[in-house]
């Protein structure tokens, strides 16, 4: 029998969850530089515009779904991402880059976005620093649409799962369904990350910032998330499972006294 192991992270959403690991990871996007003949440059800028519009509609669809399931306030953060797609300075820099350098939209957009994100990341203002995740979240959606790539959604996670991920993007975090997802553990993130905020709002036990998590966990493993202590326990012993079952029962009984 595999040995029990405790992985320590940051406690961000209280509670105890037992379930099966579902490793959630998005495919890395590779962007290559491709020359574009002068006669096709207008087509390339129009292709970029279409990708922006499709991404905008994708986000609006996500926002409407969240509004129906959890309420308008919870989906409001997506307004900022939708507005980013209308940022004239980024749009013009990309179109100018395509025409002047005669390069493909993906390559120019990825470079322009990287410069923009780096400048924000260097800002002394914490608000601007925290927007970097939003920039790359929406930017990767645009790149997927430009490249014609499909995107696996967190909506498709099976019931009874403990989500294990390096990180969860802001727009994906907003789609987390507490009926299917019992607990969350991520390698990245902190107390103010979108994942942490979402977990607390939905009352899903969660631990983030677990170093080396992705190399220590496999799909289908049975784990316990202790959201009070920020711990993931893999291969829990029968006595450990019993301990947490009693703890959960006591928590439920205590909550009843408050209602």
pLDDT at 251 over 80: no
- Would residue 30 count as lying in a domain? no
**pLDDT tens-place string over residues 86-142:** 999 999 999 999 999 999 999 999 999 999 999 988 888 777 776 787 888 899 999
SS (H, E, C) the chain: CCCCEEEECEEEECCEEEEEEEECCCCCCCCCCCECCHHHHHHHHHHHHHHHHHHHHHHHHHHHHHHHHCCHHHHCCHHHHHHHCCCHHHHHHHHHHHHHHCECHHHHHHHHHHHHHHHHHCCCCHHHHHCHHHHHHHHHHHHHHHHCCCCCCHHHCCCCEEEEECCCCHHHHCCCCCCCEEEEEECCCCCCCHHHHHHHHHCCCEEECCCCHHHHCCCCCEEEEECCCCEEEECCCHHHHHHHHHHHHHHHHHHHHHC
87 and 135 part of one domain:
yes
Confidence of residue 40 (pLDDT cuts 50, 70, 90): very high
52 and 131 part of one domain:
yes
Structural domain that includes position 100: 38-147
15 and 66 part of one domain:
no
166 and 251 part of one domain:
yes
Count up the domains in the chain and report the number: 2
- Would residue 31 count as lying in a domain? no
138 and 167 part of one domain:
no
95 and 143 part of one domain:
yes
CATH number reported for the structural domain that contains residue 211 in this entry: 3.50.30.10
pTM for this entry: 0.73
pLDDT at 169 over 90: no
- Would residue 188 count as lying in a domain? yes
81 and 108 part of one domain:
yes
**pLDDT tens-place string over residues 138-161:** 999 999 999 998 766 787 788 999
Average pLDDT on 168-183 reads: 85
Average pLDDT on 4-25 reads: 95
Q: Which of 92, 115, 147 is the last residue of a domain?
A: 147
99 and 165 part of one domain:
no
Confidence of residue 65 (pLDDT cuts 50, 70, 90): confident
pLDDT at 70 over 70: no
Confidence of residue 193 (pLDDT cuts 50, 70, 90): confident
43 and 126 part of one domain:
yes
pLDDT at 22 over 60: yes
Q: Which of 92, 116, 147 is the last residue of a domain?
A: 147
pLDDT at 248 over 60: yes
């Amino acid at each position: 029998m595999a040995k029990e192991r405790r992985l320590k992270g940051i406690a961000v959403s209280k509670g105890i969850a037992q379930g099966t690991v579902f490793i959630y990871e998005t495919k890395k996007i590779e962007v290559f530089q491709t020359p574009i003949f002068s006669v096709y440059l207008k087509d390339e800028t129009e292709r970029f515009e279409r990708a922006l519009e499709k991404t905008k509609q994708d986000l609006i669809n996500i926002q409407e779904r969240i509004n129906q399931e959890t309420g308008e306030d919870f989906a409001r953060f997506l307004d900022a991402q939708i507005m980013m797609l209308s940022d004239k300075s980024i749009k013009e820099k990309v179109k100018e880059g395509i025409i002047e350098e005669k390069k493909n939209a993906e390559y120019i957009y990825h470079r322009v976005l990287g410069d923009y994100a780096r400048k924000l990341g260097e800002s002394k203002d914490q608000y601007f620093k925290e927007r970097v995740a939003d920039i790359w979240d929406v930017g990767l959606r645009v790149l997927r649409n430009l490249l014609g790539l499909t995107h696996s959604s967190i909506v498709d996670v099976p019931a009874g799962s403990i989500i294990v991920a390096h990180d969860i993007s802001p727009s994906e975090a907003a789609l987390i369904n507490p009926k299917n997802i019992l607990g969350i553990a991520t390698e990245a993130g902190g107390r103010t990350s979108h994942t942490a905020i979402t977990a607390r709002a939905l009352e899903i036990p969660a631990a983030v910032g677990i170093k080396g998590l992705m190399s220590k966990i496999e799909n289908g493993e049975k784990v316990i998330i202790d959201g009070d202590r920020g711990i993931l326990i893999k291969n829990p012993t029968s006595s450990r499972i019993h301990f947490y079952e009693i703890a959960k029962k006591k928590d439920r009984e205590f909550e009843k006294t408050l209602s």
